[in-house]
Amino acid sequence: QATLKKWQDRQNQVLKPILEDVDKAIAKVAKAQGFSVVMSRQVAAQSGLVVYADEDTDLTQAVIQELKR
């Protein structure tokens, strides 16, 4: 269990700056395209809160391009 905890702590330490960069890119793209809310497609589908979403609202490719800059 101690080894697992060490692994999780190290993983979180490595992923934190990456996830922060992704969050910043999502916010930048969303604001530029006039979105006030961005949801994970997977979470939205699993929660049942979103019944339909137009494919044109998918920001994935724009966020990927922003991250490449």
Tokens of 49: 């809160």
Is this prediction's pTM over 0.85?
A: no
- Encode the chain (69 residues) as per-residue pLDDT tens digits: 899 999 999 999 999 999 999 999 999 999 999 999 999 988 888 898 888 888 889 999 999 999 998
3-state SS of the chain is CHHHHHHHHHHHHHHHHHHHHHHHHHHHHHHHCCCCCCCCHHHHHHHCCCCCCCHHHCCHHHHHHHHHC
- Buried/exposed code over 21-51 (b: 16+ C-beta within 10 A; e: otherwise): eeeebbeebbeeeeeeeeeeeeeeeeeeeee
